[in-house]
A and B are shown apart, each in its own frame.
Chain A
Amino acid sequence: MAGAFDEMLGSSPYADRLDPAAVRPVYQAVARWLASASPELLATRRRQAELFFRRIGITFAVYGDPDATERLIPFDIIPRVISAEEWALLEEGLTQRVEALNAFCADVYGPRECLRAGVVPEDLVLRNPQLCWHQLGFRPAGGVWTHVTGIDLVRTDPATWMVLEDNARTPSGVSYMLENREVMLRLAPELVSEELRDGGIRPVETYTDMLLATLKSVAPPGARGEPVVALLTPGLHNSAYYEHSFLADRMGIELVEGSDLFVHDDVLFMRTTAGPQRVDVLYRRVDDAFLDPLVFRPDSLLGVPGLLRAVHAGNLTVANAIGTGIADDKAIYSYMPGIIRFFTGREPILANVPTWRCREPEALAEVLDRMPELVVKQVDGSGGYGMLVGPQATAEELDRFRQRLKAEPHRFIAQPTLALSTCPTLVDSGIAPRHVDLRPFVLMGAHGITIVPGGLTRVALKEGSFVVNSSQGGGTKDTWVMGPGGT
């Protein structure tokens, strides 16, 4: 899209030779590096990166594609740079937002004050399929519901970051944040060391220690001694399996599957070669619906019968807590500014993307009218599926979505097509601007919120495309947050 803000050049156009005067200060070192590296060298580096990722086995399974059960997510070797000041603002805004998300969960499953105050329509919560009735009245250890949250941000101009989506269930992608940095250090040590001279790239590798500390801080009251933490994965064929094993490895905890676990007398145990061992905290990367066949889907083989009883007996903490889907629901999203005001008493620091709620008749009429310029999303869709990008849709697609909207308006929201910021990206024709988003990871433990300075930058590799989802051909970049005093 013409006129999008470029994070390296602002509004200046890309030319064969970068004009140093046009480069924003935070990108100076990267621009010098790009100017000094020949296209052949950059291409070689890109091939090295791919080889490296394949060797260490970072692959991504794409559902419904039999030929590519293991595929690489393309990695772009030009890092994205965020200044210390920009990050300070993001950090404050993310902390505020996650505090509000957590308070909202506690309230919905507790006193429901925000419903009585009319901040969110009652029926939208109480009739929401994401609301977990089994959790009503439940109080998790330390009052924490959303232990790990991924907030998807987009930037539209130098000063404006907007929240596109909250991910408060089992957000993934953090392993790419960590591995992308590793690869970057190997591929371009000269660039990294130049940046060091200029103030330093803040490290991200402490994330796994922070995560483990967060998980241990919310051990249940029934735990004795040092809490035992385990990571529950759906198994080898899950698209994020690599990440699960990576995190378990870095934290030094067991990577368990449902079949490794059993509940006895409301206590969770794992089967080990030395007999049963008690588990106190379960960092689960399995959806609510599959966690406990006695309560949720009876056909699930991924969970553990009796798990919910162990939680309610105070013998087990499940992170994130069961039922947090109510907080990141796309239908609830548009009420987030009000939710933030209600629970934190302050104006939201990070804006929401303006959203039409198709359940409201006037909004629906406007959306139907302006559809070719909007993005329409299904409230229960994810990963870029069930979504319509108006400006890129054919007449038939627009028609089909109009019919669906009229039939079930409550299942859809619509947003304007934003001029997402772009970052310099290595493409076949050279270096070109491509649209990006950012997913930072926010940790919440019994002692408060910690955010690792960085995140996952996803980049839409197709020219002009806004779809950054890895399941639809998006790539990733290393994300550098500069230390204070840096450029």
Chain B
Amino acid sequence: MLSRNAANLYWLGRYVERADYLCRLLEATIRLAALPASHGGADGAWESAIRSAAVADRFAASGRRFTEADVGHFLALDPTHPGSIRSCLEMARTNARSLRTALTLETWQAINTAWLELQRFGTEETDPLTLMRLLDTVKQALLAFDGAAHRNQLREATYWFMRLGTSLERADNTARLLDHKYHILLPRTERVGGSLDYFQWTTMLRVVSANTAYRWVYRDSVKPWLVADLLILKPQMPRSLIACYEDIVFYLDRLARERGRPGPANRLALAGLQRLQATSIDELFQEGLHEFLLRFIAQNNALGDAIAEQYLF
């Protein structure tokens, strides 16, 4: 496979995942903002969304305020913001278009349709109902994309590179989301269910679409340390850091089989997975959750560099 195509596929996976994450983040924030300020709602929710998307500096520079209209526009439709859903989809589609030979017709159609549908919403601020509809549309279109890729793409380098990008981006998103909220996850002696932070935790679960998953896994009320456990160390949870790394190791392994031999990226990914497997949530809290997450984000970035190096992007 051409190295340029491999890079395009990898970034296609990343952009699609980022757009999906932003949709879920906005949806959860709209819910949270509907609560009174004393429960973490109102305008505090929008500030929090900007921080969870790791775009605080850019947002501040744009001179906007933490309101639904401003944040919603900035994260969803702003064509001048490279981190908006619109920009992510545009880049994903450009990548896909330059790769038409590598994608099946249906995979291409799915991403092309997502882009065409989004364009109907324009580039201006929207009312909340339209924003909800937009998020729903994009989410559905991206599900169609994932489905088409999963069902029809040959299981060879094309698919592995795309999935690799998805998993790496997903790990990054989950880690940043956790790091932004790490202070509310620390174990404290508080009345369960009555905490001010309760809605913050459930919002976080919602962002990674794990509200129901949590109940299935723990069969318990929402407790912050268990939320952290779910999103970091539970392999059953598809957006957890450990699940992402299991996937990354698998995809890199498949690519190595086609290429003939594993490289530095394979070793880095495996080391990362083993570190997660060897740890427990108690140890993480003792070590310091914030420190752990910062280190993880840095290591995840280093892995991205190693992949680019290994496949000559």
Check A15 for interface membership: any CB of B closer than 8 A: no
* Contact indicator A272/B2 (Cβ below 8 Å): yes
Q: Does B153 belong to the interface (CB within 8 Å)?
A: no
Alpha-carbon gap, A219 to B98, bound state (A): 27
Q: Is A271 an interface residue (CB 8 A)?
A: yes
> With A and B bound together, what is the CA distance between A272 and B255 in angstroms?
13
Q: Which residues of B contact A112 (CB under 8 A)?
A: none
Known contacts being A245-B100, A249-B100, is A273 close to B3, with CB within 8 Å? yes
Residues 76 to 133 of chain B near chain A (Cβ within 8 Å) = 94, 97-98, 100-101, 105, 108-109, 112-113, 116
Q: Is the CB of A273 within 8 A of B113?
A: no
Q: B6 near A273 (CB under 8 angstroms)?
A: yes
B2/A56 in contact, CB under 8 A: no
A257 to B101, CA, bound (A): 13
A88 located at the interface, meaning its Cβ lies under 8 Å from any Cβ of chain B in the complex: no
**Distance A245 CA – B109 CA, assembled complex (angstroms):** 15
Q: How large is the interface on A (under 10, 10 to 19, 20 to 34, 35 or more residues)?
A: 20 to 34
A273 in complex: contacting residue of B94, B100, B101, B157, CB < 8 Å: B157
Are A55 and B2 in contact, with the CB atoms below 8 A? no
Rounded to whole Å, the gap between the CB of A177 and the closest CB of chain B is: 18
Determine the distance from Cα of A379 to Cα of B108 in the docked complex, in whole angstroms. 41
Does B260 sit within 8 A of A, measured CB to CB? yes
Residue of A nearest to B111 (CB): A57
B165 to chain A, nearest CB (A): 14
Residue in A55, A246, A272, A273 whose beta carbon sits within 8 Å of that of B109 in the complex: A55
Docked CA distance A271–B3 (Å): 6
**Contact call B97/A236, Cβ cutoff below 8 A:** yes
A226 vs chain B, min Cβ distance (A):
18
For the A-B complex, the count of residue pairs with Cβ-Cβ distances under 8 Å equals: 54
At the interface, yes or no: A259 with Cβ under 8 Å from chain B?
Answer: yes
When distances are taken between beta carbons in the complex, the residues of chain A under 8 Å from B157 are 273
A249 interface neighbour in B6, B101, B109, B260, Cβ under 8 Å: B101
With a CB–CB cut-off of 8 A, which chain A residues contact B3? 260, 271-273
A54 within 8 A of B: yes
A273 near B97 with CB under 8 A, answer: no
Contact, CB under 8 Å: A271 / B94:
no
Contact A274 B101 (CB under 8 A): no
- The answer to whether B112 and A273 touch across the interface, beta carbons within 8 angstroms, is no
Nearest CB of chain B from residue A117's CB, rounded to whole Å: 47
Q: Could you tell me which residues of chain A, from 234 to 280, have a CB within 8 Å of some CB in chain B? A: 235-236, 242, 245-246, 248-249, 254-257, 259-260, 270-274
Chain B residues in 8 Å Cβ range of A254: 2, 101
Q: Please, which residues of chain A bring their CB within 8 A of the CB of B65?
A: none
The A interface, classified by DSSP as helix, strand, loop or mixed, is mixed
Q: Select B260's contact among A55, A242, A257, A274, beta carbons within 8 Å.
A: A274
Q: How far is the CB of B56 from chain A (nearest CB, A)?
A: 33
Q: Which A residue sits closest to B6, measured CB to CB?
A: A273
- Does B271 make an interface contact (CB < 8 A)? no
B215 at the interface (CB under 8 A from A): no
Q: Which residues of B contact A235 (CB under 8 A)?
A: 98
Q: Contact check, B105 vs A236: say whether CB atoms are below 8 A apart.
A: no
Please name all residues of chain B whose beta carbon is closer than 8 Å to the beta carbon of A55 when the two chains form the complex. Answer: 109, 112-113
Instruction: Kindly identify, within residues 266 to 300 of chain A, every residue whose CB is under 8 Å from any CB belonging to chain B.
Output: 270-274
Among B4, B94, B312, the residue within 8 A (CB) of A257 is B4
Residue of B nearest to A249 (CB): B101
Determine if B259 and A273 form an interchain contact, defined as CB atoms under 8 angstroms apart: yes
B1 within 8 A of A: yes
Which residues from 1 to 43 on chain B have a C-beta closer than 8 Å to any C-beta of chain A?
A: 1-4, 6
**Are B105 and A56 neighbours in the complex by a CB distance under 8 Å?**
yes
A248 to B97, CA, bound (A): 13
Q: Please name all residues of chain A whose beta carbon is closer than 8 Å to the beta carbon of B312 when the two chains form the complex.
A: 271, 273
Q: B265 to nearest A CB, angstroms?
A: 12
User: Are B112 and A256 touching (Cβ within 8 A)?
Assistant: no
Instruction: Give the chain B neighbours of A56 by CB distance below 8 A.
Output: 105, 108-109
Complex: chain A residue closest to B113, CB-CB: A55
- With CB as the reference atom, state the residue of chain A lying closest to B101: A249
Interface centre among B97, B105, B116, B255 (most CB of A within 10 A): B97
B2's contact among A54, A245, A246, A256, by CB below 8 Å, is which?
A256
* Interchain CB contact (< 8 A) of B101 among A54, A248, A271: A248
Query: Chain A nearest CB: distance from B272 CB in Å?
Result: 22
Contacts of B260 on A, CB cut-off 8 Å? Answer: 274
Which residue on chain B has the smallest CB distance to residue A261? B2
Given A56-B105, A57-B112, A260-B3, A274 and B100 contact (CB-CB distance below 8 Å) = no
| Residue of B with least CB distance to A247 | B101
Q: How far is the CA of A259 from the CA of B255 in the complex (A)?
A: 23
A246 touches B100 (CB 8 A): yes
Contact B108 A57 (CB under 8 A): yes
B311 within 8 A of A: yes
Complex formed: what's the CA distance from A55 to B148 in Å?
A: 15
Q: How far is the CA of A291 from the CA of B108 in the complex (A)?
A: 30
The answer for the CA separation of A245 and B258 in the assembled complex, in Å, is 24
With A55-B112, A249-B100 given, is the CB distance from A273 to B105 under 8 Å? no
CB-CB < 8 A to B112: which residues of A?
Answer: 55, 57
User: Are A245's CB and B6's CB within 8 A?
Assistant: no
- Give the distance in Å from the alpha carbon of A255 to the alpha carbon of B100 in the complex: 9
B95 → A minimal CB distance (Å): 10
Nearest Cβ distance between residue B119 and chain A, in whole angstroms?
Answer: 11
How near does chain B come to A52, taking the closest CB pair, in angstroms? 10
Q: Which of B98, B109, B260 has the most CB of A within 10 A?
A: B98
Contacts A54-B116, A55-B112 given: A271-B2 contact, CB under 8 Å?
A: yes
Asked if B4 and A260 sit within 8 Å, CB to CB, the answer is yes
Question: Which partner residue on chain B sits nearest A252 by CB separation?
Answer: B101
A259–B4 CB distance below 8 A: yes
| 20 A-B contact pairs sorted by A residue (CB < 8 Å) | A54-B116, A55-B113, A56-B109, A57-B112, A236-B94, A236-B97, A245-B100, A245-B101, A249-B100, A254-B101, A255-B101, A256-B2, A260-B4, A271-B4, A271-B312, A272-B3, A273-B1, A273-B3, A274-B258, A274-B259
Listed from nearest, the 7 A-B pairs whose CB atoms lie closest are: A245-B100, A249-B101, A273-B311, A271-B3, A248-B101, A273-B6, A236-B98
Extra contacts, 17 of them, besides A249-B100, A257-B4 (Cβ < 8 A), are A55-B109, A55-B112, A55-B113, A56-B105, A56-B109, A57-B100, A235-B98, A236-B94, A242-B100, A245-B100, A245-B101, A260-B4, A271-B3, A271-B4, A271-B312, A273-B2, A273-B157
